Chains A and B, each alone.
Chain A
């Protein structure tokens, strides 16, 4: 079975590094691109056509919510997982789910939780 392609959209280099290690090390996923803000994320989504997008919410330039909305308008079947620092209870997270995000992972996260969520997509 081929690995699922994952795009990371997070302005935090340390979180992106941590996610890349977890995903690449799992054997089931391959990180195909990293974006530091929503604008870059949109561009990479169009060019890389990933199976899954891991999306931070609070980012410079174009934030996660706007980016999710734009991606979903491009591709209604896009699989977006929100990586949130907001305790999973904020309105932003609910809004992201309303826009079509499939799940939420709260930072700081455990590797097992990340893989569990992404495998469930």
Chain B
């Protein structure tokens, strides 16, 4: 059992084929407009405004609508209207599959019920912290910002799994990167990413397809991703009056195929599932 998107769930169960899923995703992508598209269509934002908002969004921890209000590009009423329009128009994958004639309404309803049951322990949008950690708030901030940065830098939509106590050491992966936070937040931040995720991160930095880049550059992209994420944690904590220091990111070594970073300490692991593969965030209490 793992976190899944509904389309993946249907595919794995053989309810739909891969071709049908891809076709439905295309319909979805065409139909589902972004916040900026709605604002542009209503003449409230120009292309330049939207580009500026996207650029600013990469540096901040704010939703695009909130940012537009902050920068006085839109007022709150306009943002609320645009968000409502976007939500009302949103085409979900199940509905896209039904509209394309790949599944019937009865099958859609039945499978949705089964999917919800299957995914009950994974709550998208909510970061939960298991009992036994002395600074649950910091853990939530670290996990939440990691997920947001995956979207903003690597353009990866993810689903976060429930945080679970982590025993042992992280498995070897394309890149396993660690940063030590101290001061207002006392945790070891460890991110494990497969190659495809590293490509997505590097692509976000170089502003183009990074799949042809050598492995050391891709791994460096993961390090820089961690650096920026922890930098955002510093900024968030500074707003709360807490000073945080971070070490430079480093790749965790696997000398004999194993690493020694958790060292039996209290740790929590969050899996983030994306189309590029699973990313694991492990936070180790120091």
Identify the closest chain B residue to A85 (Cβ). B231
Q: Do residues A108 and B227 form an inter-chain contact, with CB atoms below 8 A?
A: no
Contact with A along B5-40 (1 / 0, CB 8 A): 000000000000000000000000000000000000
Tell me whether A84 and B231 are in contact in the complex, defined as CB-CB below 8 angstroms, given that A12-B220, A13-B220, A14-B220 are known contacts: yes
Interface hit among A26-34, A47-55, A73-81, A87-95: A87-95
**How many angstroms from the CA of A35 to the CA of B104 in the assembled complex?**
61
Q: Do residues A88 and B248 form an inter-chain contact, with CB atoms below 8 A?
A: no
Complex contacts, A3 vs chain B, CB 8 Å: none
* B232 interface residue (CB < 8 Å to A): yes
Chain B residues near A (Cβ < 8 Å)? 55, 58-60, 153, 202, 204-207, 216-217, 220-221, 223-224, 227-228, 230-232, 234-236, 238-239, 243, 246-248, 250
Q: Do residues B238 and A89 form an inter-chain contact, with CB atoms below 8 A?
A: yes
Q: Do residues A12 and B238 form an inter-chain contact, with CB atoms below 8 A?
A: no
Q: Do residues B59 and A15 form an inter-chain contact, with CB atoms below 8 A?
A: no
Give which listed residue, A12, A21, A60, A84, contacts B224 with CB less than 8 A: A12
Q: Do residues B59 and A14 form an inter-chain contact, with CB atoms below 8 A?
A: no
Give me 16 other A-B pairs in contact (C-beta within 8 A), A14-B206, A86-B231, A108-B204 excluded.
A12-B224, A13-B216, A14-B220, A21-B206, A58-B227, A85-B227, A85-B228, A85-B230, A85-B231, A87-B236, A88-B235, A90-B231, A90-B235, A91-B238, A91-B243, A108-B58
Complex contacts, B231 vs chain A, CB 8 Å: 58, 84-87, 90, 107
Q: Do residues A87 and B235 form an inter-chain contact, with CB atoms below 8 A?
A: yes
Tell me whether A17 and B217 are in contact in the complex, defined as CB-CB below 8 angstroms, given that A11-B248, A58-B246, A110-B55 are known contacts: yes
Q: Do residues B228 and A108 form an inter-chain contact, with CB atoms below 8 A?
A: yes
Q: Do residues A89 and B235 form an inter-chain contact, with CB atoms below 8 A?
A: yes
Q: Do residues A58 and B248 form an inter-chain contact, with CB atoms below 8 A?
A: yes
Contact with B along A80-121 (1 / 0, CB 8 A): 000011111111000000000000001110110100000000
Identify the closest chain A residue to B60 (Cβ). A87
For the complex, would chain A's binding face be called helix, strand, loop or mixed by DSSP majority?
A: loop
**How many angstroms from the CA of A50 to the CA of B97 in the assembled complex?**
59
How many residues belonging to A are interface residues under a CB distance threshold of 8 Å? 25
* A66 interface residue (CB < 8 Å to B): no
**How many angstroms from the CA of A30 to the CA of B224 in the assembled complex?**
24
**How many angstroms from the CA of A59 to the CA of B221 in the assembled complex?**
15
Tell me whether A15 and B224 are in contact in the complex, defined as CB-CB below 8 angstroms, given that A89-B239, A91-B238 are known contacts: yes
* A70 interface residue (CB < 8 Å to B): no
**9 pairs from A and B in contact (CB 8 Å cutoff):** A14-B206, A14-B224, A15-B224, A18-B205, A58-B247, A86-B231, A86-B234, A106-B59, A108-B228
Interface centre among A59, A84, A91, A110 (most CB of B within 10 A): A110
How many whole Å from B13's CB to the nearest CB in chain A? 39
Q: Do residues B238 and A90 form an inter-chain contact, with CB atoms below 8 A?
A: yes
Q: Do residues A88 and B59 form an inter-chain contact, with CB atoms below 8 A?
A: yes
Complex contacts, A59 vs chain B, CB 8 Å: 248
Q: Do residues B59 and A87 form an inter-chain contact, with CB atoms below 8 A?
A: yes
**How many angstroms from the CA of A16 to the CA of B250 in the assembled complex?**
17
Complex contacts, B220 vs chain A, CB 8 Å: 12-14
How many whole Å from A85's CB to the nearest CB in chain B? 3
How many whole Å from B134's CB to the nearest CB in chain A? 24
Complex contacts, A108 vs chain B, CB 8 Å: 58-59, 153, 204-205, 228
**How many angstroms from the CA of A67 to the CA of B228 in the assembled complex?**
21
| Interface members, chain A 4-28 (any B CB < 8 Å) | 11-15, 17-18, 21
Complex contacts, A88 vs chain B, CB 8 Å: 59, 235
**How many angstroms from the CA of A13 to the CA of B58 in the assembled complex?**
20
How many whole Å from B182's CB to the nearest CB in chain A? 13
Q: Do residues A12 and B227 form an inter-chain contact, with CB atoms below 8 A?
A: yes
**How many angstroms from the CA of A86 to the CA of B145 in the assembled complex?**
13
